[in-house]
């Protein structure tokens, strides 16, 4: 690092980013490019000589930006938001600028201790039970993604079960979830060696608001146990990816306890909402979990990447993940060594980013940010409900609105398995989404479940304001008008 050069060059990059955000809403949200468009514009060999930051930034502007999907655009409503903020960006700069590696307390004491403080702060902000916090005998860690958190907790659950039943029962270990659980659970199960057939997804229905039904779960687990299987892990979700649905945590927790399963709750997106007391009812029963994870980079203004994982008994995780190396001797055994709480040894100083975000905005402003997104989503849902051509396919809980175009049908099916003309609605809805997205003025994503295809409008990009939602509604109506004319509806 050359500190003098750093001041000059970082201001070039900062100005570049600031201008990007100033002009972002005028860029098409998705790029209009064909595969290989970038490769042909770039030299195939790395440069021998140094180049200036100015010339690199010029290439970013000319060649990279036109090929990006602009996730930070106020018109980006696909998937789930990945929020950003000044504080999030500054926190990332500190993380990267200090570039310390706190794999053990002794490797960078303040990095470990700050993480412990932030983990407890966030847990308290969300109203998590004391038992998940360091101050209450539990504890937590900052990882990069939910997928990593799931892999780590699955490994702990696997080893706990094998200790009880013996290694030769490995093929009998079973993991439970719903058909709405994020696919990272399947991926994680594969990684820890669970047979794909032993990852059992319970079917959800419209009647249960696409939540995991505890009675169905109990019946399945009981019959599996009778057949000689060993239930080891149950994943519940607060804010599913497709609908933003919520599983009944308390009832699922009881089933998990009854059968001695590890109970993990994935609140990747919606966990951030729980900093507002009005959303905490969705966590009812959370004291029954073994672990709980949420990604503040999704909705809490904390730039990529960070996933909080809390555990009621961190020792069980450490038993699975700890490994010693002779070059790591000389630590302090009474302190937390975060290398034993995650997959990798090296780790980023994510805690400093979260610390910056939470301090810079304070809980009050963070709550306002969540509430403002939810209120925009509510407004969008009301607009949808005011036009009979549209159907909101799931009652909105957070800031995700799921809808479809109805053609001219009046009957609403009871279940996504009943077709009732769903295929036709789905075709029209697909056409609507393609038409909105190809306009470049907004980006929405869709989901297919059975014969139902619906559009998800996830509100939460940091720059989105009421006027963008009004504009989006107008755009959707215009495109729906065209489709209705084309199809004689
Ligand atoms: N869980 C849920 C409910 C999600 O919606 C997502 C992504 O959108 C994930 C997990 C995946 O998270 P990650 O990318 O952090 O692994």
The pLDDT tens digits of the residues spanning 446-455 come to 999 988 899 9
SS3 category, 291:
strand
Question: Residue range 29-36: average pLDDT?
Answer: 96
**Rounded distance from Cα 395 to ligand 1 centre (Å):** 21
Query: How far, in Å, CA of 266 to CA of 235, rounded?
Result: 7
What pLDDT shows up at residue 419? 52
pLDDT band of 488, cuts 50, 70, 90: confident
Would the pTM count as exceeding 0.90? yes
Query: How far, in Å, CA of 140 to CA of 307, rounded?
Result: 10
**Rounded distance from Cα 292 to ligand 1 centre (Å):** 13
SS3 category, 192:
coil
**Rounded distance from Cα 143 to ligand 1 centre (Å):** 13
Query: How far, in Å, CA of 138 to CA of 339, rounded?
Result: 17
Question: Which residue's alpha carbon is nearest to atom 14 within ligand 1?
Answer: 145
Q: Which of 116-125, 310-319, 417-426 is the least confident region?
A: 417-426
Q: Would you list the DSSP string of 125-148?
A: HHT--GGGSGGGT-EEEEES-HHH
Question: Cβ(221)–Cβ(254) under 8 Å?
Answer: no
Q: State pLDDT tens for residues 407-419.
A: 765 555 445 455 5
Query: How far, in Å, CA of 24 to CA of 221, rounded?
Result: 50
For the CA of 80, the nearest atom of ligand 1: 8
Counted residue by residue, the chain has a size of 489
For the CA of 149, the nearest atom of ligand 1: 16
What values do phi and psi take at 120, rounded to 5?
-70, -40
Question: Cβ(255)–Cβ(218) under 8 Å?
Answer: yes
What is the chain's mean pLDDT, rounded?
Answer: 95
Question: Cβ(270)–Cβ(246) under 8 Å?
Answer: yes
Positive or negative torsion for Cα 243, 376, 82, 61: positive
Name every protein residue with a CB atom under 6 angstroms from any ligand 1 atom: 80, 145-147, 182, 184, 237, 239-241, 266, 268-269, 295, 307
Cis ω for the linkage preceding 220 (within 30 of 0): no
Q: Is 29 exposed, middle or buried (0-12, 13-18, 19+ CB in 10 A)?
A: buried
Residue 421 has pLDDT above 90, yes or no: no
SS3 category, 370:
helix
**Rounded distance from Cα 102 to ligand 1 centre (Å):** 25
User: What are 313's two structure tokens?
Assistant: 């008994």
């Amino acid at each position: 690092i050359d500190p003098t050069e750093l001041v000059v060059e970082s201001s070039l990059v900062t100005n570049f980013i600031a201008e990007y955000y100033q002009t972002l809403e005028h860029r098409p949200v998705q790029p209009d490019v064909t595969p290989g468009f970038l490769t042909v514009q770039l030299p195939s060999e790395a440069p021998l000589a140094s180049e200036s930051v100015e010339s690199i930034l010029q290439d970013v502007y000319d060649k990279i930006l036109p090929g990006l999907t602009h996730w930070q655009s106020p018109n980006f409503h696909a998937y789930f938001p990945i929020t950003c903020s000044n504080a999030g960006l500054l926190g990332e700069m500190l993380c990267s600028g200090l570039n310390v590696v706190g794999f053990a307390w002794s490797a960078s004491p303040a990095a470990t201790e700050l993480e412990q403080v932030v983990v407890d702060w966030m847990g308290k902000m969300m109203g998590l039970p004391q038992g998940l916090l360091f101050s209450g005998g539990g504890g937590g860690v900052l990882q990069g993604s939910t997928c990593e958190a799931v892999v780590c907790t699955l490994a702990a659950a696997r080893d706990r079960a094998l200790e009880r039943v013996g290694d030769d029962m490995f093929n009998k270990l079973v993991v439970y979830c719903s058909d709405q659980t994020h696919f990272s659970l399947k991926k994680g199960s594969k990684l820890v060696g669970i047979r794909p057939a032993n990852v059992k997804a319970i079917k959800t229905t419209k009647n249960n608001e696409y939540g995991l039904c505890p009675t169905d779960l109990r019946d399945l687990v009981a019959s599996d146990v009778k057949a000689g299987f060993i239930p080891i892990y149950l994943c519940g979700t607060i804010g599913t990816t497709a609908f933003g649905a919520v599983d009944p945590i308390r009832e699922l927790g009881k089933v998990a306890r009854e059968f001695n399963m590890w109970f993990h709750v994935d609140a990747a997106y919606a966990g951030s909402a729980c900093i507002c007391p009005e959303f905490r009812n969705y966590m009812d029963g959370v004291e029954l979990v073994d672990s709980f994870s949420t990604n503040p980079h999704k909705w809490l203004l904390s730039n990529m990447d960070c996933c909080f994982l809390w555990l009621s008994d961190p020792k069980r995780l450490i038993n699975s993940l700890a490994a010693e190396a002779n070059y790591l001797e000389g630590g302090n055994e009474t302190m937390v060594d975060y290398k034993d709480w995650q997959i990798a040894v090296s780790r980023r100083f994510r805690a400093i980013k979260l610390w910056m975000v939470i301090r810079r905005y304070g809980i009050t402003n963070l709550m306002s940010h969540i509430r403002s997104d939810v209120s925009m989503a509510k407004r969008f849902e009301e607009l949808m409900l005011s036009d009979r051509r549209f159907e909101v396919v799931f009652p909105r809980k957070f800031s995700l609105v799921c809808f479809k175009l109805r053609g001219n049908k009046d009957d609403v099916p009871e279940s996504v398995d009943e077709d009732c003309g769903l295929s036709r609605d789905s075709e029209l809805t697909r056409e609507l989404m393609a038409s909105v997205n190809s306009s470049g003025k907004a980006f929405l994503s869709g989901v297919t479940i059975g014969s139902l295809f619906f559009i998800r409008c996830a509100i939460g990009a940091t720059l989105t304001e009421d006027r963008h939602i009004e504009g989006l509604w107008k755009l959707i109506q215009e495109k729906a008008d065209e489709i209705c004319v084309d199809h004689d509806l």
